[in-house]
Structure 1
């Protein structure tokens, strides 16, 4: 707890200082609220809109969680296949890279044309945003397996399945969690973007309505909530990482 306080006070002070400068700047330069609201205006707006904001919040949260789970599954499956099948990796790895060169904003209208306005195109967008960092991180983790341990277990008669589940996968977990933390933050952003396709509720819908009405303070409320969700996702993944790879931390301390 003491270490957390010692490490956390500097970012907290920096954030508070930023908010104070923001507040003073809006007052000194007389910036209109519709152009750039002060932090105090955003807090007041949050209190006013929170009752009708909750349905949008839970809609986005549900979409982000399920999309993240789908993206995680797809990323791990792809990484495993590419790792276990070198020829497949040589053939399809460039396509994995190319999949990230397609702008989501450009792809979104096509997904609506192909799959309609339901949940499927939204999940596809979130999956495309999430699976890549997980797949690349996991594949890198697999390839960093200790070769001496690998050959030793192979000499002892370990099968490919045993090598993967008992050596390669456990050693790849730190890399996998690095990808998961990146994907967790991407999932929230992708969920909001996907809601611009025509959803009935969600933070993306809330932001669109607020923007069209020039309610800039409401837009900032949504932005800050998205940031809080992303940080929460990141924190949950970090806690899971500490719980699941204690063996590595003990090894490093020893």
Structure 2
């Protein structure tokens, strides 16, 4: 009993998380109030909330636009990224030739591609979806490829000896065995996709949260800028919560080693 009581945390992780967020909000409110930072650079949290709710209709419409573009981008980033990672990690020729190229491209700042996208497809939602999907594709593909390479080859040899087809090996052995890496790719890829969509909206757009942030920044409406940033954090936080829920479901389903 003594050992269990010593190892038990004094504060639960969830409580500690909320306390940490509360400290951030208090610091956010007090730093500009005390004059430590000019309010034109950092608006107090209360002013940001008041300004945002006063013009909540505009922000709600912008949030809907961003959410729609993000959802579309995630479908492409997750779907194509998982399929590409599965092929890159399981096919020797692709792993040796294309995987290093994909890793190198991921290291390049993709923001340089967006001006080309706007020239090709315009500044409408299509360019935001494509740019966000590109941002999320690479971490998703690389995570799945890394997970596939960790699969025990004895399972593959056993499946082949029993006459399993290549598609069966890919989707019934390699893919389920790569679940931990896939979940990691979902989290990183989702965050990167959200960044890509919002950054694209900030660079050239006619709507969305990123567009509102840039518009209010140029007019020195600092409170509205921080409310827009707050909405982006809420959106990405909800996405992370959804992925954590999926992770718990897969953890309960995934067979435990004995």
TM-score by length of 1: 0.89
Looking at structure 1, the residues matched to 112 and 165 of structure 2 have their Cα atoms a distance apart, in angstroms, of 46
The match for 1:177 is 183
Contact 2:86 / 2:170 at 8 angstroms: preserved in 1? Answer: no
Matches within 5 A, 1:212-227: 212-227=218-233
Question: Which residue of structure 1 lines up, in the alignment, with residue 100 of structure 2?
Answer: 94
Corresponding residue number in structure 1 for 2:256: 251
Which residue of 1 is the match for residue 27 of structure 2? Answer: 21
**Conserved? CA contact 1:112–1:197, under 8 Å:** no
How far apart in 1 are the matches of 2:37 and 2:159? 68
Q: Give the conservation status (yes or no) of the 8 Å contact 1:45–1:218.
A: yes
Please say if 1:72 is aligned against 2:72.
no
State the alpha-carbon separation in 2 of the partners of residues 179 and 44 from structure 1.
37
Structure 1 stretches of at least 4 aligned residues deviating more than 3 Å after TM superposition: none
Q: Is this contact kept in 1: 2:144–2:181, CA < 8 A?
A: yes
For the pair 1:60 / 2:58, whether they are aligned, the reply is no
Deviation at 1:135, TM superposition (A): 0.6
Write the deviation string for residues 60-92 of structure 1: whole angstroms up to 9, x where unpaired.
Answer: 000011001111122112112223421122111
CA RMSD of aligned residues (A): 2.1
Q: Which consecutive unaligned segments of at least 5 residues does structure 2 have?
A: 1-8
Tell me the equivalent position of 2:200.
194
- Where in structure 2 are the equivalents of 1:202-213 lying within 5 Å? 202-213=208-219
Could you say which structure has the higher helix fraction? 1
Are the equivalent residues in 1 in contact too, given 2:123–2:206 (CA < 8 A)? no
Partner Cα distance (1:134, 1:79) in 2: 7
Single out whichever of 150-159 and 216-225 deviates more from structure 2. Answer: 150-159
Tell me if the contact between 2:89 and 2:146 (Cα under 8 Å) persists in the aligned partners.
no
Deviations 1:11-44 (A, max 9, x none): 2112212322332222222644322111121121
TM-score, normalized by length of structure 2? 0.88
Alignment pair present for 1:157 and 2:163: yes
CA distance in 1, matches of 2:43, 2:21: 17
Distance 2:231 2:110 in 1: 22
Further displaced range: 60-69 or 93-102: 93-102
Residue pair 2:202, 2:213 contacting (<8 A) in 1 also = no
Residue equivalent to 1:132: 138
Q: CA–CA distance in 2 between the matches of 1:107 and 1:152?
A: 45
Partner SS state of residue 251, structure 1: coil
2:149 corresponding residue in structure 1: 143
| 2:119 aligned to which of 113, 116, 129 | 113
Aligned residues: 249
Q: Residues of 2 paired with 1:13 and 1:169: CA distance?
A: 38
Q: Give 1:245 deviation, angstroms.
A: 4.4
